[in-house]
Amino acid sequence: MSRNAGFDEERIKSKCAAIEGLDFKIAECEEELRRVHEKAQEVLGKPKIVSVCACGTEISEGTKFCGKCGIKVTDTDGS
């Protein structure tokens, strides 16, 4: 009886160690997933900054006029 209990304990311990290992792997994957999501948000959410206005406002791609002072912004590839 007591031998059986000891055996079960060993088995449970080894199972727990295996589960802990999986938990660690899951945490690692979740961390990576979070990072990928952040990168995706960065790429999709933020417009690409192509220029900076004289007033210091960042000019996103496709924008012709500064959103702050309203002056026309010259493109980086323009004259």
Which residues here bind Zn ion, judged by CB under 5 A? 53, 55, 57, 66, 68-69
Choice between 57 and 63, CB closer to Zn ion:
57
**Least distance from Zn ion to the Cβ atom of residue 42, Å:** 24
- Please, which residues have CB within 8 angstroms of residue 14's CB and are 6 or more apart in sequence? none
Choice between 6 and 70, CB closer to Zn ion:
70
Choice between 17 and 71, CB closer to Zn ion:
71
For residues 71 and 63, what is the distance between their CA atoms, to the nearest angstrom?
11
